Amino acid sequence: MTLSAPCCHRRWPSIPFPFSAFPFPAKLSIHKNLVYYGKRIERGVPMLDLKLMQKNPEIVRESLKKRSSKIDVQEFTDLDVKRKTLIAEVEALKAEKNAVGPEIAKRKKAGEDASDLLKKMGEVSARTKELDAKLSTVEAAQKEWMMSVPNIPHESVPLGASEEDNSVLRYWGDKPELDFEPKEHWEIGTALGGLDFECAAKLAGSRFAISYGWCARLERALAQLMLDTQTTMHGYTEVVPPFMVNRKTMTGTGQLPKFEEDLFKVEGTDYFLIPTAEVPLTNIYAGEIIDEAMLPIKFCAHTPCFRSEAGSYGKDTKGLIRQHQFHKVEMVNFSHPDKSYEALEEMTAAAEKILQLLNIPYRVIALCTGDMGFGAAKTYDIEVWLPGQNLYREISSCSNCGDFQARRANIKFQPTDSKKKQYVHTLNGSGLAVGRCLVAVMENYQQADGSIVIPDALKPYMGGLEVVKA
RNA sequence: GGAGAGGUAGCGAAGUCCGGCCGUAACGCGCUCGACUCGAAAUCGAGUUAUGGGUCAAACCAUACGUGGGUUCGAAUCCCACCCUCUCCGCCA
């Protein structure tokens, strides 16, 4: 049942392969009073549950410890005490102001003298202004603290300090048995005329690549396969979002304010290039109230992603693994809080499906508390086998963010059986990183003669091409 | 980029010229509960923002009329800056 305005949120009719259509908001109804940088958020808007912070600060303290974070909960508690004291005083003054106001109006209307009240209120007003200023300082500090606190890990997340402590959950597929020394993808791709890093460096700089001919097409084919699979097999609605978004949007999903140096910003504007489609997709429902019957809402998008890779100097300098610009098919799920962990399993399976279709071996790992991203409550990484590098490399990361992003971006749903609006849970996952998948295809399907066999699943997208050779 | 119109609750919309019982915000729609009905429609009645403070829970108090400032004892209303939407014009893939 639609709760309110039925035009605001709508389900698309589903269309069979190769086209599909699913739900998206035809028209967004924004809650004007819930906009991020308005006074609402200044009044102590929680990134974590404020009540939880107040009543059970030890839970947050514990969480921060698990993440090896140095953030001090006591700072928050001290600020909170200050804030409450100030609020009590300010609000008492404002209540007085509101009580006396009509009296002044009444006297003036009757032509009586109100100068005593005016004088008194002048003092009250001055005092209020003073306290308000103090209050906003405290609130700003508290907000800053809140914004820098990472999400609380789910209880099922393995404890650990670094990637060493991640746990492998399962392996899939058999590593190809190669009776020759496997090459790395950049060698194979360059030799076949498909990849050119030198020219890309001329055009832009390091960490860029150019694909030509078969390689460009192969990349497109992979993206197509991914989109078609996610939309037709797994119920995701394909979206083409903006590739640049504003600061507010970046804050909603947690990239800002903490990680600005990882982003590319368009100078002279408020625009940032998206580091992942998670940002625009999740924020589609920012400030919205979703009807419970609409859940889960599942979006996927094929977009370029831009990352400055600050802090990874010297890492993966060769090849396609770590680029400033790469393509990714991203999945986002707005889930009912009770079902988000099921949804995480589903989403991970949807990402795995792509590698299964390509018949490329991979493993799934559960990230430990110390290795998880800022907004994640639980994360699975899918690591694909790369014979050239002789190791598993991350090709997908699927996270349940719980209500962390929903709080920042103000995404709620209206339960059917209750009046109280609740935060949704948001999930995001790569399904998959296209560039790294291209690497995986090249390395796993390479032949002794330097050619690449096209995986069966990609042949329809490659115009029937069977093999790429010199 | 130029000109004009607009931004008020789930939606639509009044109020803005002339500042003060107009913000649990008129009026309409929707939604929830109830009455009527065999049932439904229609009709009638009641209810229906969020956040913060406060409380065992309430009562109660404060804040929010696109955003941010200013004037004032007091601002949806007056002043300044900015953002967004719509219409027309220009430019453009």
- Which of helix, strand or coil describes residue A317? coil
DSSP A428: E
Nearest nucleotide by C1' position to the A2 CA atom: B31
Beta bridge partners of A430: A330
Chain B: nucleotides below 7 Å from protein CB are: 7-12, 20-21, 30-32, 49-54, 61-68, 73-74
ipTM: 0.86
Q: Give the distance, in angstroms, between residue A398 CA and nucleotide B67 C1'.
A: 35
Beta bridge partners of A3: none
- Which of helix, strand or coil describes residue A234? coil
Is pLDDT of A390 > 90?
Answer: yes
| Residue A88 approaches strand B within 7 Å at CB | yes
Same fold, A50-147 and A163-468: no
> From residues 235-264 of A, which are strand B contacts by CB within 7 A?
none
Q: Give the distance, in angstroms, between residue A109 CA and nucleotide B18 C1'.
A: 14
| Residue A120 approaches strand B within 7 Å at CB | no
Mean pLDDT is lowest, of A32-36, A239-243, A258-262, for A32-36
Q: Give the distance, in angstroms, between residue A242 CA and nucleotide B60 C1'.
A: 47
Give the span between the Cα atoms of A446 and A230, in whole angstroms.
27
Burial class (CB in 10 A: 0-12, 13-18, 19+), A64: middle
Closest protein residue to B67 using CA and C1' atoms? A38
| Residue A127 approaches strand B within 7 Å at CB | no
* Architecture in CATH of A163-468: 2-Layer Sandwich (3.30)
Tell which residue, A83, A11, A86, A21, has the closest CA to residue A46.
A83
Q: Quick: pLDDT tens for A23-76.
A: 333 222 222 222 222 222 333 334 566 777 777 888 889 999 999 888 999 999
Report yes or no: A139 and A43 within 8 Å, Cβ to Cβ. Answer: yes
Q: Quick: pLDDT tens for A316-327.
A: 888 999 999 999
Mean pLDDT is highest, among A160-164, A239-243, A454-458, for: A454-458
Beta bridge partners of A10: A24
Residue A39 CA, chain-centre distance (Å), reads 25
Farthest CA pair distance, chain A: 104
Written as six digits, the tokens of A56 are 């059970």
For residue A259, what pLDDT band results from cuts at 50, 70 and 90?
Answer: confident
- Which of helix, strand or coil describes residue A340? helix
Verify cis geometry, omega within 30 degrees of 0, for the bond prior to A158: no
Report yes or no: A401 and A425 within 8 Å, Cβ to Cβ. Answer: yes
Q: Give the distance, in angstroms, between residue A31 CA and nucleotide B60 C1'.
A: 27
Sequence ranges of the domains in chain A: 50-147, 163-468
Nearest nucleotide by C1' position to the A123 CA atom: B73
Nearest nucleotide by C1' position to the A40 CA atom: B51
Q: Give the distance, in angstroms, between residue A430 CA and nucleotide B88 C1'.
A: 44
- CATH H superfamily, domain A50-147: Serine-tRNA synthetase, tRNA binding domain (1.10.287.40)
Q: Quick: pLDDT tens for A68-116.
A: 888 999 999 999 999 999 999 999 999 998 888 888 888 887 878 878 8
Q: Give the distance, in angstroms, between residue A1 CA and nucleotide B39 C1'.
A: 21
Beta bridge partners of A423: A412
Percent of chain A scored above 70 by pLDDT?
A: 89
Give the span between the Cα atoms of A131 and A106, in whole angstroms.
28
